[in-house]
Amino acid sequence: MVDESVFMKIPYGLYLLTSKNEYKDNGCIINTVVQVTSNPNRIAVCVNKQNYTLSMILETKKFNVSLLTTDTPFEFVENFGFKTGKAADKMAYLKNTGISENGIIYTKDNVSTVMSANLIEKVDCGTHILLIGEVCEAMNISDKEPLTYSYYQKNIKPKPKAKKSGGKVWVCQICGYEYDEEKEGVAFEDLPSDWVCPLCKHPKSDFELLK
């Protein structure tokens, strides 16, 4: 038996992953970044296959990773985590920016560090792709406290609304999206096993019934 709640206890950070192609700059929120070697400096980044940012990285072989800080507002996470760059100019949200040596925009607000990397390897992990990048630039932006996933859940993410009358309401524990059975017309239990949250793309197992 696999208790899914175990995975929720693994400590994570929250990061802004950015890239660009010949048409636009784009970014998304991720929670998995680790240093895998120090000589050479290489990092591993895990990205959902449905993210538009991933397709840009696979095309250009370049990306930036910014470590978010505890002063990051929910609107920042909402902009980069709940929208798709295919339909929105997510980078227009940023006001105080710079450009790293690889030509990719980074924000100077709400971040502690920025790393630029060149993609050297990718591993298919099912719903996600693991990217291995060699760091070509690393910058300290501020001394603010890094944002952990746990801090985001407790202090930044809005609390679920009161239960509505009618059908059951299921809440994504990752992004807060509410699946209202009465509104959708389909019981949550009857959704396909491969159904994912329309906002953050996490599976049904990350939803809980709103009491």
pLDDT 10s digits, 26-39: 999 999 999 999 99
CB 81 within 8 A of CB 65: no
CATH number of residue 174's parent domain: 2.20.28.10
Question: Which of 152, 171, 191 is where one domain is finished?
Answer: 152
22 Cβ neighbours under 8 A, 6+ residues apart = none
Q: How many residues does the chain have?
A: 211
* CA dist., res. 3 & res. 150, Å (int): 19
pLDDT value for 32:
92
> What is the per-residue pLDDT across 190-202, written as a single tens digit (0 to 9) for each?
898 888 888 777 8
Of 89-93, 109-113, 118-122, 178-182, the range with the lowest mean pLDDT is 178-182
CATH number of residue 9's parent domain: 2.30.110.10
pLDDT value for 182:
85
Of 58-62, 77-81, 193-197, the range with the lowest mean pLDDT is 193-197
pLDDT value for 163:
56
Domain span at residue 109 reads 5-152
Domain check: are 164 and 139 in the same one? no
> What is the per-residue pLDDT across 107-131, written as a single tens digit (0 to 9) for each?
999 999 999 999 999 999 988 999 9
- Does position 164 have pLDDT exceeding 60, yes or no? no
CB 104 within 8 A of CB 64: yes
- Does position 167 have pLDDT exceeding 80, yes or no? no
pLDDT value for 85:
85
Q: Residue 116 CB: number of other CB atoms within 10 A? A: 22
Domain check: are 195 and 133 in the same one? no
Domain total of the chain? 2
pLDDT value for 39:
93
Domain check: are 142 and 81 in the same one? yes
pTM: 0.82
* Confidence band, pLDDT 50/70/90 cuts, at residue 76: very high
Closest CA to 201 of 177, 169, 168: 177
